[in-house]
Structure 1
Amino acid sequence: MDVSRRKFLTYVGTGMTALTVASTGLGALAPKVSAADKGRSSLFGYENRASRIDFEPIAPTTMDEIVLPDGYTYNVVAAYGDVINQRGDTFGFNCDFTMYLPIQGSQRGLLLVNHEYTNPLFVEGDVSKGYSPKQIESLLYNQGLAIIEVYQDPKTKEWKMDTTSKYARRISGLAPFEMVGPARGTAAVNGATTVQGTFANCSGGATLWGTVLSCEENWERTAGTAGLDTTHYGWVVEVDPFDKDDKYFKPRKHTALGRFHHENCAMGLSKDRRVVVYSGDDKRDACVYKYISKGKYNEAKGKENSKLLEDGTLYAADMAAGKWVALTIENVREAAKGKDNESALLNKFQTQADVLVNAHDAAILLGATPTDRPEDIEISPIDNTIFIAHTNNSNRGNFHGHITRFFEKNDDLGSLEFSFEIFAVGGTQSGFSAPDNLDFDRHGNLWTVTDISTSSLNKGAYEPFKNNGMFVIPTTGDKKGQAFQFASGPVESELTGPWWTPNQKTLFLSVQHPGEQTRDINNPTSMWPHRPGDTMPRPAVVAIKGF
């Protein structure tokens, strides 16, 4: 199946709308507004695009079920352990990011799914005496990526998995990856040019040339358990789901995008057609980053544009100054001068590869702003502003998080100056806590799922919110900035990775770690998805219908 970039952008849904606008100049077709009209009182400045809510919001609940508004239903598409192809590969654990890539419009396509981490109780078994080689293999296999083929049954309208697919496969912690970019083969990654596997895959993003980016987040536990080199993880990886044997597009890790706890990647274009990639570092007191390619995007080059992610500059946000700070070896070494630990810093940062491998330390040294767990970042499909979910930071008294909006100077993603505002704040006054993944619908509504830690759910400051859920926040009109709950997840779960079909009649969503606080496998705290024959809760991807 040869999916052209133009068809890819047309079909792939609102998750790619921003790329369409940025790369085709469709922004010129939008209504013209004055500078005053584009002020913060009206998010997009286009009142004729007023957001609207087409459902009756639900109330928080502690039910062990996905609870949706009246008129909406869901079905399980794939769950942990399900066979996905004729080779007998199985769906991994703790699914996160989902991305639908059309084969036949909104009726059949590939679904790429990230698998973030495992729970030994449900996957590897008893590891109290350490991991056996077989358990390490299971740990690595059940993380990474799953590529499955899905279709909507014309009779039942339910979404199903096609296990006869020639594309369906796993790209796990056991698969080979090429390292590309400035750190490839350097001492900073201990000379590596090819490394083993990807894991801790949280969210991701789409490229302009039809491939998928997947982000390695909390890699430390798996790398340590498996005895792997930690410098080989914490990167953004790129794969082509339609290259079924990885013949023409080798899975790769992009070192130019920096090594940190990547939540996701949001790609767009600067006004002069350089590729820009935003990413957040999901930990307390960590920074927001963007990468700008040196070369310019050329649609005719197709997947060769991937090389634009190998040569460019990584920046971190200094929110106090409203500037993007370049993470270059020259800047870092200059900043180290006069520090109490100058000698140690100069020894640590000797090459650009050292800066990229230790991106967080370099960013802080250069004065970038530590923030409250920057997770998902999305580019507005209307005006190129940047929305950032800051989940929370109890160290700084920010228990419920907030959503920040960046305004790049001159509406140019390639700008090195910006301003920002707090678009929405979590708490009982807004009804949501701990915003995580973000997405936009065709009405300009911002959708967010929440990530209250399972150890905190229904306790203390988090009690009013009940189970984690999904919320819709209008971005224009009289309800702008207000949150309306659309879904509630099963017990101790987290809803992740929302992605629409192109016609926006189906929303794919992952249900991660139901029953995570289970201590006795014979007495699980959740049994979702309540399938006949199941003896344990299972992370799964669902398809929500009724839109």
Structure 2
Amino acid sequence: METMNRRKFLSYLGTGSVALAAASSGLGVLTSEKAKAATADHLFGFKTNKVSGYFKPIQHSKEDQLLLPKGFKYDVVAAYGDVINAAGDTFGFNNDYTAYFPLNGKNSDKGLLWVNHEYTNPIWVEGQPGSGGYTKEQLHKLLYNQGGSIIEVYRSQDGTWKLDKRSQYARRITGLTPFELTGPAKGSKAVGGVSKVQGTFANCSGGITLWNTVLSCEENFESTAEAAGLNQTHYGWVIEVDPFHAEWQVRKHTALGRFHHENSAMGLAKDGRIVVYMGDDEKDACVYKYISKGKFDAAKEKANSALLEEGTLYAANMKKGAWIALTIEAVQKALSAQGFKAPALISKTVEKLKAQFQTQADVLVYANEAALILGATPTDRPEDVEISPFDNTIFIAHTNNDNHGNIHGHITRFFEQDDDLGALEFDFEIFAAGGRQSGFSAPDNLSFDSNGNLWTVTDISGSSINKGVHAHFGNNGLYVIPTIGPNAGEAMQFASAPLDAELTGPFFTPDETTLFLSVQHPGEQTKDIKAPTSMWPHRPGDSMPRPAVVAITGFKL
């Protein structure tokens, strides 16, 4: 009998039947031109480099450095407080998702970089509120340093990536920027009857549309909204921004639902409708997808944004392998059913829920409750959700959930019926499980390279890093997990973060010679500004750690 070692077991666990058939036949089906899926993914190119064959995995570390394999280096492109344009706008705090938009076609040496800014730290940014709350100046700092940055970056002749402060495109989208609401909740009673709202904040991850705009996702918005005295229902949405045109109205798409959005991944159903997958980054929260009513037409360019205004929001019932439509009719029917009891995860009474759900706008504003009422499956912090550009399978990073013992999290893989993103039935598997056996814990943002390798960063909380059962993993990191071949399912560490930090938003240039990566919240556990727990990026003369975006080079074509 053949010995089933860890590598072989993980390879069988982490590949579907199509991949196994491809490996056994030597056909390499998943990396063929024919197999490419219609997704708004991170791959502009497919000029492949054998990424996993060009680096020796590094070991876990507890150093206050961003560590990479031999032969790779990083440039700090932008850090908190850096001036980004002639108007004097500055780079925000706690950068997360990044998205590279080439200038002049598929240029991998010059482009625009969208960067999310998730939250601030009062020690380094706005200061602690007084007994009467934040001052006007403090609120400005709180709101300005969240949202997003659009910066222009370029690779100089010596190979160094730099920020172009003279850029005509560079600007900030912040908690002060006016936004238009779109979709069913626009102007509804559920959002206070308004069609325009103030600002975006708590911007975690995101995605790119098929018409080359960016989707940014509002996650843990409550504390900022409360501090600023803003209506909570105006936040928790997916926003859309055109990085190239400042005059294009930034908007929040209510048809995609309101919850603690981690990211969005856009693709096409077989019939041409837009599909957007989303995760709700909460313990015992659900996985969602939106399917547009209309069909994508490339010739319409940004006018396709209207497809995100009318469609159906679904949540996943993993026990049945079914996508459940979140409609007011279905919610009201469930609430009125004889013997209905509110799910344990909802604290409201049935009577209060009946009063709350009167229109489709109410379903979207309280999408997480509607999903639970209709039987969607609570899961373990579904953070990043990505569509494989090779076979239309869906990868979901379930970061962890200590409510029921899932300490290290796992990555789930959905198989839509007939490989159609528009399908309403699916199957799934556990692609990889976090823990000592795999070498990583708490998977978060996901990305693919053109060889089908899955890149994942980890999100061990600052209070748990290098402590207890997490001590084995050292600092947070970036890992490469092949989805096919002899190392399928085996995690190889590519980067280790500085102290207290997490790595976020990995994004390749079209030719895959540069990887942009955010280093978020170094030194987050600092209690005394005179004794910071990290000083990364170790800039000469600096007195504080700074969240920053880096450009990693050393990849070979």
**CA distance in structure 2 between the partners assigned to 1:77 and 1:65 by the alignment:** 16
Once the two structures are superposed, the pairs formed by residues 11-50 of structure 1 within 5 Å of their partners are 38=18, 47=28
> Residue 307 of structure 1 aligns with which residue?
306
User: For residues 518 and 336 of structure 1, do their structure 2 counterparts lie closer, same or farther at Cα, with a shift above 3 Å needed?
Assistant: same
User: For residues 373 and 396 of structure 1, do their structure 2 counterparts lie closer, same or farther at Cα, with a shift above 3 Å needed?
Assistant: same
User: For residues 501 and 142 of structure 1, do their structure 2 counterparts lie closer, same or farther at Cα, with a shift above 3 Å needed?
Assistant: same
User: For residues 41 and 348 of structure 1, do their structure 2 counterparts lie closer, same or farther at Cα, with a shift above 3 Å needed?
Assistant: farther
> Residue 290 of structure 2 aligns with which residue?
291
**CA distance in structure 1 between the partners assigned to 2:524 and 2:124 by the alignment:** 10
Question: Given the alignment, which residue of 201, 214, 234 partners 2:203?
Answer: 201
SS at match of 1:492: coil
SS at match of 1:85: coil
SS at match of 2:354: helix
Check the 8 A contact 1:183/1:189 in 2, yes or no: yes
Q: Is 1:146 aligned to 2:149, yes or no?
A: yes
SS at match of 1:394: coil
1:344, distance to aligned residue in structure 2 (A)? 2.1
Q: Is 1:107 aligned to 2:109, yes or no?
A: yes
> Residue 262 of structure 1 aligns with which residue?
261
Question: Given the alignment, which residue of 227, 230, 233 partners 1:228?
Answer: 230
SS at match of 2:403: helix
> Residue 192 of structure 1 aligns with which residue?
194
Q: Deviations over 1:442-494 (max 9, x none)?
A: 11100000000000000111000010000000111111100000000000000
1:532, distance to aligned residue in structure 2 (A)? 1.1
Letter in 1 for 2:414: F
Q: Deviations over 1:487-519 (max 9, x none)?
A: 000000000000001110000000000000000
Check the 8 A contact 2:30/2:390 in 1, yes or no: no
Check the 8 A contact 1:38/1:44 in 2, yes or no: no
> Residue 12 of structure 1 aligns with which residue?
none
**CA distance in structure 1 between the partners assigned to 2:173 and 2:415 by the alignment:** 37
Q: Is 1:77 aligned to 2:77, yes or no?
A: yes
Letter in 1 for 2:293: K
1:346, distance to aligned residue in structure 2 (A)? 1.4
> Residue 169 of structure 1 aligns with which residue?
171
Question: Given the alignment, which residue of 397, 400, 412 partners 1:404?
Answer: 412
1:49, distance to aligned residue in structure 2 (A)? 6.0
**CA distance in structure 1 between the partners assigned to 2:128 and 2:435 by the alignment:** 39
Q: Is 1:336 aligned to 2:341, yes or no?
A: no
Check the 8 A contact 1:150/1:160 in 2, yes or no: yes
Letter in 1 for 2:390: I
User: For residues 348 and 407 of structure 1, do their structure 2 counterparts lie closer, same or farther at Cα, with a shift above 3 Å needed?
Assistant: same
Question: Given the alignment, which residue of 157, 171, 176 partners 2:159?
Answer: 157
1:39, distance to aligned residue in structure 2 (A)? 6.1
> Residue 386 of structure 2 aligns with which residue?
378
How many residues are treated as equivalent by the alignment? 508
1:53, distance to aligned residue in structure 2 (A)? 3.4
> Residue 403 of structure 2 aligns with which residue?
395
> Residue 137 of structure 1 aligns with which residue?
140
SS at match of 1:396: coil
> Residue 353 of structure 2 aligns with which residue?
345
**CA distance in structure 2 between the partners assigned to 1:73 and 1:382 by the alignment:** 29
1:42, distance to aligned residue in structure 2 (A)? 6.0
1:128, distance to aligned residue in structure 2 (A)? 4.8
1:43, distance to aligned residue in structure 2 (A)? 8.7
User: For residues 87 and 362 of structure 1, do their structure 2 counterparts lie closer, same or farther at Cα, with a shift above 3 Å needed?
Assistant: same
Q: Which moved more, 1:337-346 or 1:135-144?
A: 337-346
Q: Deviations over 1:2-27 (max 9, x none)?
A: xxxxxxxxxxxxxxxxxxxxxxxxxx
**CA distance in structure 2 between the partners assigned to 1:192 and 1:517 by the alignment:** 39
Q: Deviations over 1:249-295 (max 9, x none)?
A: 20000000000000000000000000000000001000000000001
Letter in 2 for 1:138: K
**CA distance in structure 1 between the partners assigned to 2:402 and 2:277 by the alignment:** 25
User: For residues 40 and 131 of structure 1, do their structure 2 counterparts lie closer, same or farther at Cα, with a shift above 3 Å needed?
Assistant: farther
SS at match of 2:314: strand
1:175, distance to aligned residue in structure 2 (A)? 0.3
Letter in 1 for 2:54: D
**CA distance in structure 1 between the partners assigned to 2:376 and 2:23 by the alignment:** 26
After superposition, the CA RMSD in angstroms is 1.5
Q: Is 1:363 aligned to 2:346, yes or no?
A: no
* Unaligned segments of structure 1, at least 5 residues: 1-35
SS at match of 1:264: strand
> Residue 23 of structure 1 aligns with which residue?
none
**CA distance in structure 1 between the partners assigned to 2:29 and 2:505 by the alignment:** 29
**CA distance in structure 1 between the partners assigned to 2:331 and 2:544 by the alignment:** 50
SS at match of 1:265: strand
1:74, distance to aligned residue in structure 2 (A)? 0.4
Check the 8 A contact 2:387/2:393 in 1, yes or no: yes
> Residue 8 of structure 2 aligns with which residue?
none
Letter in 1 for 2:254: T
Q: Deviations over 1:32-53 (max 9, x none)?
A: xxxx962667699953668843
Letter in 2 for 1:38: V
User: For residues 505 and 88 of structure 1, do their structure 2 counterparts lie closer, same or farther at Cα, with a shift above 3 Å needed?
Assistant: same
Q: Which moved more, 1:342-351 or 1:368-377?
A: 342-351
User: For residues 469 and 177 of structure 1, do their structure 2 counterparts lie closer, same or farther at Cα, with a shift above 3 Å needed?
Assistant: same
Check the 8 A contact 2:19/2:484 in 1, yes or no: no
Check the 8 A contact 1:183/1:256 in 2, yes or no: yes
Identical aligned pairs, as a percentage?
Answer: 65
**CA distance in structure 2 between the partners assigned to 1:519 and 1:532 by the alignment:** 22
> Residue 68 of structure 2 aligns with which residue?
68
**CA distance in structure 2 between the partners assigned to 1:442 and 1:102 by the alignment:** 18
Check the 8 A contact 1:493/1:512 in 2, yes or no: yes
**CA distance in structure 1 between the partners assigned to 2:523 and 2:352 by the alignment:** 45
**CA distance in structure 2 between the partners assigned to 1:398 and 1:387 by the alignment:** 18
**CA distance in structure 1 between the partners assigned to 2:350 and 2:122 by the alignment:** 43
Q: Which moved more, 1:39-48 or 1:320-329?
A: 39-48
Letter in 1 for 2:57: P
Once the two structures are superposed, the pairs formed by residues 364-513 of structure 1 within 5 Å of their partners are 364-513=372-521
SS at match of 2:262: coil
Q: Deviations over 1:126-155 (max 9, x none)?
A: 32533111101100000001000000011x
1:54, distance to aligned residue in structure 2 (A)? 2.0
Letter in 2 for 1:422: I
Q: Deviations over 1:189-228 (max 9, x none)?
A: 0011000000000000000011110000000010000000
SS at match of 2:125: coil
User: For residues 355 and 37 of structure 1, do their structure 2 counterparts lie closer, same or farther at Cα, with a shift above 3 Å needed?
Assistant: closer
> Residue 274 of structure 1 aligns with which residue?
273
